[in-house]
A = this chain, B = another copy of it.
Amino acid sequence: MKSQNWARKTKQFVFRTFAATSLKSRCIIPKLKSKEPPKMATTLRGKPFERQVLDSMLRRRMFYTPAFEIYNGVGGLYDYGPPGCALQSNIIELWRKHFILEEDMLEVDCTSLTPEEVLKTSGHVEKFADWMCKDPKNGEIIRADHYVEEILEARLKGDKEARGLQVTSNDDSSKKKKKIKSISAVRLEDATVAEYEGILAKIDNFDGPELGRLITKYDLKNPATGVLPSEPVAFNLMFQTSIGPSSNAPGYLRPETAQGQFVNFAKLLEFNQQQMPFASASVGKSFRNEISPRSGLLRVREFLMAEIEHFVDPDGGKKHSRFEEVKDVELTFLNRQTQISGQTNVEKMTIGKAVANGTVANETLGYFLARIHLFLKKIGVDLSKVRFRQHMANEMAHYACDCWDAELLTSYGWIECVGCADRSAYDLTVHSRKTGAPLVVRERLANPITIEEWQIDIDKKKFGPKFKKNGKIIEAAIEALSQEKLATLAQDLASNGKITIDVEDVDSDGVELGKDLISIERRKRVENTREYTPNVIEPSFGIGRILYALLEHNYWTRGNEGGDEARHVLSFPPIVAPTKVLIVPLSSHVSFKPLIKQISSKLRVLGVSSRIDDSSASIGKRYSRNDELGTPLGITIDFQSVKDQTFTLRDRDSTKQVRADKEAILTAVKALVEGEKNWSDVEKQLPSFDGQDIDSVIP
């Protein structure tokens, strides 16, 4: 009973865990996995995709790098170098424009350091944990669910080999660094195979004791040491520290930015002049102490999140005033029903239809799903690799009404990159109950209403002295009692002269209140204001994951006709490209200097970021380098430029060039960067330049 309750309760965190995927590894839903076709085998232009090749290019160009590498690095910590940092900034800037500015959201910047009390209330201290085992022989620390999964998978693979069946890559979970390198080909009983497969299909649903029982039952010895690991214990995923000089002020690094927004709700409502609905938003680092980080940028210990908390009146169907504007946006849905039936086939539908037919719970949730889709489109995510997957009932927080993840397909599988949940009134309620702060909206009623209801009166004179510091908490618990509950309690009080109410924080057996302290009566009252706790719709973005998916989605290789090795290209849209324009003088000849300076300062005035490459490498090599950095445009300065002030402009994707005077080139650059024109428009307007096929000159 208790463990079942725990399992249910942990669900409340499941949909918040994407940015570092913790509680449950849900990047790929295992039971769906084997039925997925391996879609991500090719690059943008249809060539075979090799992750190691892309990864080594990204490190070489310093998109990212393992942090503290000269100190041998630390698992799960990565630094962004200049192009990664610029890409991240551009994504964030676009995010701010697309969400915050567009809808007048209230941006806040809250601290990462969080006192324990706050995270106790939110439930993180108790429940934000993974199960881990220790190998008693070599001391290795192992994540229990990964361990069971890997060993069973390895045994199934061994069985296939023994049966002479082909072992496919789908038998491996590609996202994992395998601990188990080889396994002997041992044939299993048919029934055992079925059992193993059944377990793997629901591996995310086991809690610690259950995982422990599986380890014992199937004798899952660690192949590295030949012994069974210890019983799984819960390991909290938050980084703990101590705030201030004394050790009695424990704190944590926030595992999400949301709590800072919830605790400031009353001030934000006041700032918004009491107007509802409204949204707050925050961009900042969060931290999760992964047991064994892996999958590169996808599961890290420190990561950037962008979160919106949209507060809405729960009455009136959670309509959204701007839903009309997005109702025709077509999304790809993988709904709950389909998943229950064991399928993964997606359905394309407008969000208008999805809300109308009940696929998506309400307009506000639907509005944000559409806005998320539009955002992903804007930054250059490949929309054929996006799906909105609905949470299964058992995957969702018990208080949530509906929850969808925007998942992006990468070589690691379908990755949850944005979560979008209707969190109901949970967060504001728990913080309000704990602190006594009224995190509610009070609304003047146009027509006062008369209500007949149960009311509970407290004899404050006796109540205060009796309960002292617990008084406030008990009072809050009393206020939170429902009418149904009060009706029952009124009977109890009448018949027993006392009642018992649940106040977990004070006494796990409940608090007893006698007739001397309280009375319960049914009364009429006239209400002029309505008071309610807003519901929260929460779109929550894992920026690092989106950034990584964007890299994969925009990567391709350019084969060289001459048979040279493939050249890498990152075809970012100009709006997110780290640098928009590369300025390339033919050589370091002194006559080019003034032109370089002119072009570069003109671009700066236009607000277009550029870099100069006047190194001694060939022009082709310099362009190649910038194709790898995803720079969409190049301006070449040659001796002709010195003579007649004309320049060539090169398009990264087609490698085509046009030649024109400075003004025409700069005008074209601005239009291309701001997305007003595309390259074919420019080619129509400006004469093409074929005088020198720069890209064939690569040595």
For window 96-121 of A, CB contacts with B under 8 Å fall at 101-102, 104, 106-115, 117-118
Report which residue of A65, A107, A249, A251 has the largest number of chain B beta carbons within 10 angstroms of its beta carbon. Answer: A107
Copy number in the complex reads 2
For window 28-87 of A, CB contacts with B under 8 Å fall at 61-62, 65, 67-71, 74-75, 77-82, 84-86
What 20 additional pairs, Cβ within 8 angstroms, besides A71-B263, A141-B244, A239-B242?
Answer: A71-B118, A74-B249, A77-B113, A77-B243, A78-B111, A80-B109, A82-B106, A82-B108, A86-B107, A101-B609, A111-B301, A113-B287, A132-B245, A141-B245, A239-B241, A239-B243, A243-B301, A244-B289, A253-B253, A285-B285
A302 at the interface (CB under 8 A from B): yes
Q: Which of A176-184, A264-272, A395-403, A677-685 lines the interface with chain B?
A: A264-272
Contacts from A to B (Cβ < 8 Å): 61-62, 65, 67-71, 74-75, 77-82, 84-86, 88-89, 101-102, 104, 106-115, 117-118, 132, 141, 235, 239-246, 249, 251, 253, 260, 263-264, 266-268, 270-271, 273, 275, 285, 287, 289-291, 301-302, 431, 435, 437, 439, 604, 609, 611-613, 615
- The closest CB in chain B to the CB of A432 belongs to B70
Q: Is the interface of A mostly helix, strand, loop or mixed?
A: mixed
Q: Which residues of B contact A270 (CB under 8 A)?
A: 62
CB distance from A125 to the nearest CB of B (A): 14
Q: Does A68 lie within 8 Å of B106, measured CB to CB?
A: no
Partner of A68, one of B86, B104, B244, B263: B263
- The closest CB in chain B to the CB of A273 belongs to B615
Partner of A111, one of B77, B273, B431: B77
Q: Which residues of B contact A78 (CB under 8 A)?
A: 111
Q: Which residues of B contact A290 (CB under 8 A)?
A: 244
A577 to B612, CA, bound (A): 33
Partner of A268, one of B81, B132, B246, B291: B81
Q: Does B79 lie within 8 Å of A111, measured CB to CB?
A: yes
A328 to B105, CA, bound (A): 44
CB distance from A625 to the nearest CB of B (A): 9
Q: Does A70 lie within 8 Å of B239, measured CB to CB?
A: no
A115 to B70, CA, bound (A): 12
- The closest CB in chain B to the CB of A616 belongs to B273
Partner of A243, one of B74, B79, B271, B285: B74
Partner of A109, one of B75, B84, B235: B84
Q: Does B239 lie within 8 Å of A245, measured CB to CB?
A: no
CB distance from A385 to the nearest CB of B (A): 26
Q: Which residues of B contact A287 (CB under 8 A)?
A: 113
Q: Does A111 lie within 8 Å of B435, measured CB to CB?
A: no
A156 to B674, CA, bound (A): 66
Q: Does A109 lie within 8 Å of B74, measured CB to CB?
A: no
Q: Which residues of B contact A68 (CB under 8 A)?
A: 114-115, 118, 263
Q: Does A113 lie within 8 Å of B302, measured CB to CB?
A: yes
Q: Which residues of B contact A243 (CB under 8 A)?
A: 74, 77, 239, 289, 301
CB distance from A19 to the nearest CB of B (A): 15
Known: A101-B604, A245-B235, A615-B273. A108 touches B81 (CB 8 A): yes
A150 to B380, CA, bound (A): 60
Q: Does B132 lie within 8 Å of A267, measured CB to CB?
A: no
Q: Does A71 lie within 8 Å of B435, measured CB to CB?
A: yes
Q: Which residues of B contact A431 (CB under 8 A)?
A: 70
Known: A82-B108, A285-B285. A435 touches B70 (CB 8 A): yes
A-B contact list, 28 entries, CB within 8 Å:
A61-B271, A65-B264, A67-B110, A68-B118, A68-B263, A71-B263, A77-B113, A78-B111, A79-B110, A80-B109, A81-B106, A81-B271, A82-B106, A82-B108, A82-B271, A85-B107, A85-B109, A88-B109, A102-B604, A111-B301, A111-B302, A112-B112, A113-B287, A113-B301, A141-B246, A241-B241, A241-B253, A245-B291
A153 to B404, CA, bound (A): 62
CB distance from A254 to the nearest CB of B (A): 11
A339 to B134, CA, bound (A): 61
Q: Which residues of B contact A69 (CB under 8 A)?
A: 263, 267
